[in-house]
Amino acid sequence: MSGMRITRQSPFALPLGIQFETGRYAGDRISGADLVATLSPTRIAKTNKRPAGRGSTTLGLNPKCDYRKLGETGWAALFPPGEEGKALREALAPLLAWRREQAGSRFHTFDLAPSQAFPGRLETKNEFLRRQQVPLHGVVNPDLMPYYLMAVGRASHFSFRELHALDLQYGVGLLDLPDPDAYRRYAETVVEIERSQWQGPRDLAFFAPAHEKDITQSSAYRFVEPLSQRLKDTLGQNEKSTRAIHCHLGNAATHERLLHLMGGPDKPAFLFSATHGLSFGRTHACQRDYQGALVCSDWAGPGNQVFLRHVVAAPSLEDRCDLRGMIGFHVACYSAGTPQFDYFSKYQGRDRIELASQSFTAQLPRRMLGHPNGTALAVIGHVDGAWASSWELPNQKPHIDIYESLVHLLLEGYPVGAAMELMNQRYASLAAELNGMIERFDWDDDLDEKEILEMWMFQNDARTYLLMGDPAVRLPGS
């Protein structure tokens, strides 16, 4: 992979997503030197919000505060206004009472107002913070605004972009479940696990198919396998560790195996997967139920038809499944959600591609977080596409350190929202580098326009992770 540019053959140009109708890559939207000419630095500068440099925005919490103590960090829930918000408050009452007990005076709930900038949506990050008289940038002061913020309600209320922006400064999670009963089950499960000495599974599992002549060969053997091996080595050196790591790669990453991991007999405490996510056209009847479903090794590979028996989707998780206590991390296209408009197309000189009639969260994590037999605690996934740059950049070794560090933070008892700071800092670093390249372009003859295209794609991919669930939950037994 050394020295590769974005071409049709480059692995960095291939998404972890497969179209249901064709078995081809989902969109293949970043590819070909023919696109470079349409993506001028001038166009980027005008359409991309200029990312702040490292010196202008400090990420995260005041260093005097301990991320693991809600009494220091604070915790808040953000609700839609009116009757809908009232019903969600009632459904989440057990969790709200428990967080109030933990956070004390730094516990808050907020009713979000309608956005002035985007009719039909709730207020943006800046509108919300200004209304609360909170600085828009800088270190989080929990006396002004809690660090952990759980946005509650339908994804169509929110802008995914605004959630990403808020998450750069705070620990943000989105809880979007099918009905009040699902919210109630989630609240009761979180409180039950955190109040008790949880005796559930403690192991970690890694799952990655590797289809022939496919980008998943890289995700399985250059990303997931070395990541799991590093963690095995670390835990093996810890004589007190009672956790084991199980790795299911290549042909072993079957539909049946993933079902055993997702609430079946082999359920771990933490499940990390890197797979293709299933993609549908905006008018397809199955889009809402199956977009972002995880494609297993049963599928024959690119160009072959995908059948539902090849994927694990929300309907795959039967009522008898037991997901209590699990945290999932899915590197796959649309594994967390689908925005109404594609994140990538408008930077290629095209009209925006409308992916769906409105933004929505993926049904698989919604099913996991609202399951009738006990719910998962949190699920991390991608909004829009996931690309090979998630684990590897040109001329560099796979950057798996950030994922290894994230898992270690979870093992050390850090809430999942705090562990995700590592992903946010990577995005901010890439965005700052892109901004510098745009500023240099007019006077730096050595700067290749292709490099700007690459860097824009990398930073855009880095921001698309979304945490679903309460950002203050922790890995059980940590």
Domain CATH number, residue 167? 3.40.50
The domain total for the chain is: 2
For the stretch 16-31, what's the b/e string if a residue is b when 16 or more beta carbons lie within 10 angstroms of its beta carbon?
bbbbbeebebbbebbb
What the block records as the tokens of 206 is 């890694």
Answer yes or no: is 317 within a domain: yes
Give the C-alpha separation, 220 to 262, whole Å: 19
Residue 289 located in a structural domain: yes
Flag whether 449 is in a domain.
yes
H-assigned helices in 104-204: 125-131, 160-167, 180-195
Residue 1 counted as domain residue: no
Are 455 and 434 part of one and the same domain? yes
Q: Are residue 305 and residue 352 in the same domain, yes or no?
A: yes
> What residue type is 327 in one-letter code?
I
Question: Which tokens in the block code for residue 152?
Answer: 């509650």
| Rounded (10°) CA dihedral 360, 362, 363, 368 | -130
Q: What is the pLDDT along the chain (478 residues), one digit of tens a residue?
A: 222 233 333 455 556 677 777 777 775 444 434 334 444 444 444 444 333 332 233 357 778 889 999 999 999 999 999 999 999 999 999 999 999 999 999 999 999 999 888 888 899 999 999 999 999 888 899 999 999 999 999 988 888 989 998 998 999 999 999 999 999 999 999 999 999 878 888 999 999 999 998 999 999 999 999 999 999 998 877 756 778 999 999 999 999 999 999 999 999 999 999 999 999 999 999 999 999 999 999 999 988 989 989 999 999 999 999 999 999 999 999 999 999 888 776 555 566 788 888 999 999 999 999 999 999 999 999 998 888 888 887 777 788 999 999 999 999 999 999 999 988 888 888 888 888 887 777 676 676 777 777 788 888 888 889 999 999 999 998 7
Listed residues 195, 219, 248: the one ending a domain: 195
Instruction: Report if pTM > 0.95.
Output: no
Cβ contact 266:322 at 8 Å:
no
φ and ψ at 172, to 5 degrees?
Answer: -115, 140
Closest alpha carbon to 376 in 245, 475, 256, 260: 475
Are 348 and 35 in contact, with CB atoms under 8 Å apart?
A: yes
Q: Could you tell me if 180 and 228 lie in one domain? A: no
| Same domain, residue pair 157 and 248 | no
- Check if the beta carbon of residue 269 is closer than 8 Å to that of residue 203: yes
Same domain, 184 and 210: no
Q: Which of 166, 195, 224 is the last residue of a domain?
A: 195
